[in-house]
Every structure is written in structure tokens, then in C-alpha cells.
Structure 1
Amino acid sequence: MIGRLHGKLLEKQPPEILLDINGVAYEVQLPMTSFYHLPEVGESATIYTHFVVREDAQLLFGFIDKYERGLFRVLIKANGVGPKLACTILSGMSASQFIQAVLEEDITALVKMPGVGKKTAERLVVELKDKVANIDEVSSAVDVLNPSINKAELLIPVNLAKEEATSALLALGYKKAQAEKAINAIYDEHASSETLIREALKSMV
């Protein structure tokens, strides 16, 4: 099991990164709530990982801390929830927000996530209510929808930022029309792709 990676961040293409570890580059998928906390390309990054082995693929999922990874592991044990849906859920709301929604049986908040219908939301509440209440908080739960991070925007072409943001939402399971509508509603020509993604996700919650 690969539990932690530390290396040079080579690429950031939401929701995936390429991390160089002593000359070996690992492709890692992150929920956007963790993605927002990554350093700039070229800098060192440390992420906690969960390794998924399937018949047709071997996938690495990354998280900014053990707390979010722990919640991801609880999520994928729920009936009908795979790694991709778990990442989508944790991209739309922070770990603390998801736990609050489950504990308060807030079905309305949960069904706003793509791939989560009413039956899935109800099942998540029933199956996870006791489990999320007992997750060990190894590191404090950070509300990463309003992170305290470097506000410097990435110096990338405007169209590229918008394109990357839309692609990230599509990768998370949102429909093209829904993704484009959300991006256009909050679009700022000076914003980075990460800012556009974060604001678009917030507008849909």
C-alpha cells in the first residue's frame, strides 16, 4: 500500500497531478478540496494517498491530510460509492461539511453532488452516520471551501484557465451544460483555474 508521497510537483491538471519521486512520476487524483492546498508547480508537495487496484487499472488518490483520506476510506465502503464518486463528493464539500450533512441528515445538501440521487443520499446517511461521528481527527478538519491560502493567481492564459476549470468539473461528473453554466456565472478573467473551480463548486452547493 502506498500511503504517502513527497516529491516535486511537475504538473497540475485538475483533478490530477503528476508528482516526481526520485525520477519516478506518479499520477494522482485529488478531490478539489485537497487540490486547492497544493503548492505551485515546481515546488515540493506531500500528500497522503489511497491505492486502488482494479482488473483494468491501478489508481492513486491523494489527500492533503489523513483526516480527509480517512473520510474517503469510509465513503468507498458505503454501498454504491466508488472512488470516483467519493472524490466528487469531497470536491463539492469539505470533510467537515460532509460529516455535518450526514449527522444532520441533510439530504438536500447531499443530492446536489453529481451522481448522488435521493436514494444514494439516504443510504449514505443510514450507513455512515455512526461511522463519520467516530473518525479520528488526526489533523484538524479544515473548511477548504474557504481556505487560507496564497491568493496569488496563476499566470496562465485566460481561455486556458476557463477551459481547465470546465474540464475539471466534467471529470468530477458534472454535465457539460451544467459545468459551463457554473463557470460562466462566476467567471473572472483574472482568476486562475483553481479559483474558478472552487467558486463554481461553491455556487452549486
Structure 2
Amino acid sequence: MIDFIRGTVVHWETEYIVVDVRDIGYRVFTPNPYFFQRSDEPVTMYTHHHVREDAIHLFGFATREEQKLFRKLLDVSGIGPRVALGVLAGGRPETIVAAIQQEDLNFLTKLPGIGKKTAQRMVLDLKDKLGATVETSLRAAAEVSGAGEGPSAWSEAREGLAALGYTQAELDRAWQGLKDSVTAEESVDSLMKRALQWLFKG
């Protein structure tokens, strides 16, 4: 099992990139090939080595959270590697996890390759198994922002959410939806969770 690779990106297509690892080019299928910009700097990709009778494929991800969610998705009946990759291309890991936990079939069925029955199976099979994935993402973002508690919690939560990839416009809308219910005692972690729920619904 190949858990990760480290090398330079030398080529990319719409579905995969080629990573040069000590003069060997690995074709790695990834949710967003253009995330890995071509440069002389090495990149680390967390991978899933998938073997079947007629093919051997390597799937790669920018974070451990994506890798873990991809593997969880493969446990769902009807979801293979290509569909799981499409799911991750359709949303951030924490957003997908929140949709599964909240049983939001409307969101899930908008993901590539996911119909209503598959969405129902995702909820049934994964709802109680994904808490650690989104919590890890939130903690990592909080650490980046130097999160604490107190009246300035939103500015710190905002930085953490920005680290997860949300735009300033999205965060402004989230604040408009949350500001009337925020208290001086609310923690950054609590604000981030509520903002994620608001962004997901909005």
C-alpha cells in the first residue's frame, strides 16, 4: 500500500497529475489536478493505492482528511473510486461530512455520480463514522488562526474558515446570518461550527 508520495508535479490533465519521484513518473488521479501547480518545489500527496483485476490506480489528495473521507466513501455500496473522487471534487470534506451528518439528501444528490439511493446509503453507512474527519479540519483551521475565546471570536473564526477555503464574500454573508445570535462568551470553535452549518444551508 502506497500511503503518500513526495515529488515534483511535471504534468497535469483534467483528471490526473504526473508526479516525478526520483525519476519515476507516477500518474495520480486527484479531485482537482490544478490545485497542484507545476513548480520546482516538491509536493506531498496522501494516496490510496487501488488494485483490481484489470487495473492498478493511484488516487492522491492534498490532505489526510480528504484521504480518510475517500476511503470511507469506498465502504458505501455503489460507490467506487471514480465516484468517490467526484464527490470530493464537488465539495470540501467538512461540507460533505456535515451534509451526511445532517441527512441532507438535497445536497448529496447534487454531487457528481450520487443519486437518491446512493445518498441514502451514504447517510445510513457513514453518519456515525465521520465525526473525527470534520473535527480534525476544524482544529487544524483553529490552530492556523490562533483561535481563542471571547468577544473577538468571530475575527479568529473568520480566519480559520478562510484557511478552509471560504471566500470573504461567503464569510460576510455568514456573519450577517449569525451576528444577532452571537454572545460574548461563545468560543471560536462554536462559531466556526455554526458558520459552517449556515454556509452549507446558504
User: What runs of 5+ residues in structure 1 fail to find an aligned partner?
Assistant: 148-205
Task: Tell me whether 90-99 or 133-142 shows the greater mean CA deviation.
Answer: 133-142
Task: Write the letter of the residue equivalent to 2:38.
Answer: E
* Greater relative CO, 1 or 2 (CA 8 Å, sep 6+): 1
Kindly, what percent of the aligned residue pairs are identical?
37
Instruction: Work out whether residues 27 and 60 of structure 1, in 8 Å CA contact, stay in contact via their aligned partners in 2.
Output: yes
- CA distance, structure 1, for counterparts of residue 70 and residue 166 of structure 2: 17
Identify the residue that residue 16 of structure 1 maps to in structure 2. Answer: 16
- CA distance, structure 2, for counterparts of residue 25 and residue 62 of structure 1: 14
Identify the residue that residue 72 of structure 2 maps to in structure 1. Answer: 74
Task: Tell me whether 136-145 or 72-81 shows the greater mean CA deviation.
Answer: 136-145
Task: Write the letter of the residue equivalent to 2:136.
Answer: E
Q: 2:110 aligns with which of 98, 104, 112?
A: 112
Instruction: Work out whether residues 94 and 145 of structure 1, in 8 Å CA contact, stay in contact via their aligned partners in 2.
Output: no
Task: Write the letter of the residue equivalent to 1:65.
Answer: T
Instruction: Work out whether residues 11 and 41 of structure 1, in 8 Å CA contact, stay in contact via their aligned partners in 2.
Output: no
- CA distance, structure 2, for counterparts of residue 83 and residue 145 of structure 1: 26
Q: How does 1:22-41 map to 2 (within 5 A)?
A: 22-32=22-32, 35-41=33-39
User: SS at the partner of 1:112?
Assistant: coil
Deviation at 1:43, TM superposition (A): 3.4
CA-atom RMSD, angstroms? 2.3
- TM-score of the superposed pair, with normalisation by structure 1: 0.65
Identify the residue that residue 170 of structure 1 maps to in structure 2. Answer: none
Q: Deviations over 1:126-164 (max 9, x none)?
A: 1110011244728837644659xxxxxxxxxxxxxxxxx
Task: Write the letter of the residue equivalent to 1:2.
Answer: I
Q: 2:61 aligns with which of 60, 63, 66?
A: 63
Identify the residue that residue 137 of structure 1 maps to in structure 2. Answer: 136
Task: Write the letter of the residue equivalent to 1:49.
Answer: T
- CA distance, structure 1, for counterparts of residue 109 and residue 82 of structure 2: 16
- TM-score of the superposed pair, with normalisation by structure 2: 0.66
- CA distance, structure 2, for counterparts of residue 140 and residue 93 of structure 1: 18
Larger Rg: 2
Task: Tell me whether 128-137 or 109-118 shows the greater mean CA deviation.
Answer: 128-137
Between structures 1 and 2, the one with greater helix share:
2
- CA distance, structure 1, for counterparts of residue 40 and residue 121 of structure 2: 42
Identify the residue that residue 51 of structure 1 maps to in structure 2. Answer: 49
| 2:88 equivalent to 1:84 | no
Q: 1:73 to 1:146 in 2, by over 3 A?
A: farther
Q: 1:11 to 1:36 in 2, by over 3 A?
A: closer
Q: 1:128 aligns with which of 123, 126, 129?
A: 126
The number of residues matched between the two structures is 146
